[in-house]
Amino acid sequence: MSALEDMVILDLTHLVPGDLCTMILGDLGADVIKVGAPPDVGGRGAGLGALLTGEEEKKQAAFDALNRNKRSIGLNLKSDKGREIFYQLAQTADVIVEGFRPGVVKRLGVEYEKIKELNPRIIYCSLSGYGQDGPYSGLSGHDVNYISITGALNIIGSSDRPPTVPLNLLADFAGASLHGVIGILAALVARGKTGKGQYVDIAYADGVITLLTWFISNYFARGVKFNRGETWLHGAYPYYCVYEAKDGKYISIGCVEPWFWENLCRALGKEEYIPFCISPEHFLHKPEGEKWKEISSHLKQVFLTKTRDEWFDFLVDKDVPVGKVYTFDEVFQDPQVIHRQMVLEIDHPTLGKVKHPGIAIKLSETPGKVRTLAPIFGEHTEAILCDLGYNKSQIDELRQSNIIG
C-alpha cells in the first residue's frame, strides 16, 4: 500500500517546479495524469513533450525522473470537446495542479470555480510567481526575480561581488514545488474532516519569504540586515567556511557550536584559537580584528597540506562537522547516499538499468516507490479515454480533429 494510493491528480503544469511537485505526489502513490497540449495546437510550450520522436523520445523519458509515476494524455483544452474530456476526468479526480499565469485557466474554461461545480471535493492547486492576486500577480518572472524581490538574492554571495545566483533552488523548487506539496496534502487532510475540497494558492515569492523566516524574524526583532558576505552564515568566519585542499578539491567546515570548534582547534594543534568561537555579534557583521585574519589565513594554509578525502577521514575521527564538496560524479558513489537509496536503479526494457534520484520522504508503513518511468507524450491518451467510455471510432475522430494527441 502507498500513502496516496487511489488519489487521482490531474497535472496541468508545464514547467519544472510543477513537475517536481507532482513527482513527489506520484512517488507517494498518487495516480498522476499529465495533461499536455498536442503539438499542433499552438500556444507557448504546447506539445513540448512531443518534440522528440522515436527512440530518442523513449530514451529521454526513461531518465526523466520528474515525470516518473505519471500517465500522459494529449488534450486540446482550447476546444469544446477537449474541455469536455477534461471535465469528465475532473469529476472523479482528487487534485488538479496548474502552473499558468493567473487568468489563463479561466480563459481555457478549467478554472477552480468551474471545476468546483462539477466536483465539490476537488483540491485545486495553482503555482504562480506572485500569487493569484495583488499588484504583481500578472507579471512574468523566474526564480531569480522572485528571490530578488523577497530579499534572498541580496544576501547570497560575497560582500565584494554582485549577488550570487543560487541556481533555481529557492523559489522554483523550495518556494513552489515543496510548498505546493505541503498545501495539497494539508487540503487533503482537511477534506477528510470536512468532506469539502478547496483552492490552494501557492506563490513562488511567498514561499521564499517563508524560507527566510529565521532571518526576517531577526530583522523585525533587532533590525538585523544580514549584509551579503559579512556574517558567519556567509562563510565570513573561519569556523563555518569552505577551504581548498591539496588536490584542488574543497572541504566544508561547520563548527558553529563552540565544542565542535574546540575539537577542530585541538585536531590542528591550535588550542590558542579555541576562545575565538561563535558569538552573537557574528550574526550582525564581518570579522573585526587581526586575530580573525590570522585564524582564517592559517586555516587556508593548513588545509592545503592534505587532500580533501584525507582531511575528511582525519576530522571525522575528531568529531568535527566536515563535508566533502562533491561533483555530481562523486555524489552518487558516496556510501551514505547509496545506503539511503537516494540513487535508484530501475529496469528498462531496452536500456537496461537507468538511474534516478531517490525518494527523500521515508515512510515506514507506506513507503514511496517508482512504479513506472516517465511516459512519452500522449502514451496513455487512448487508455484514459477508454476508461471514460470512449470507443475506438470516437477516439480516432478526436485524434483526426486534433482534440487529442
Give the CATH number of the domain where residue 118 resides: 3.40.50.10540
Coil, helix or strand at residue 31: strand
Q: What angle do CA 309, 312, 318 make, to 5 degrees?
A: 150
Residues 17 and 113 in one domain: yes
Beta-bridge mates of residue 128: 203
Beta-bridge mates of residue 96: 10, 124
Residues 206 and 98 in one domain: yes
Residues 278 and 375 in one domain: no
Structural domains counted in the chain: 2
Burial degree of 219 (CB within 10 A; 0-12, 13-18, 19+): middle
Helices 308-316 and 258-267 pack at an angle, to 10 degrees, of 120
Residue 174 is placed in which grid cell?
Answer: 523550495
pLDDT in tens, the chain (405 residues): 999 999 999 999 999 999 999 999 999 999 999 999 998 775 554 444 445 667 889 999 999 999 999 999 999 999 999 999 999 999 999 999 999 999 999 999 999 999 999 999 999 999 999 999 999 999 999 999 999 999 999 999 999 999 999 999 999 999 999 999 999 999 999 999 999 999 999 999 999 999 999 999 999 998 888 999 999 999 999 999 999 999 999 999 999 999 999 999 999 999 999 999 999 999 888 999 999 999 999 999 999 999 999 999 999 999 999 999 999 999 999 999 999 999 999 999 999 999 999 999 999 999 999 999 999 999 999 999 999 999 999 999 999 999 999
H-run or E-run covering 70 = strand 70-74
The domain in which residue 369 lies consists of: 8-211+345-400
Grid cell 512531443 in the structure block, residue? 50
- The set of catalytic residues is 142, 172
Coil, helix or strand at residue 139: coil
Residues 184 and 312 in one domain: no
CA distance 322 to 134: 44
Give the CATH number of the domain where residue 309 resides: 3.30.1540
Compute φ and ψ for 33, nearest 5 degrees. Answer: -105, 110
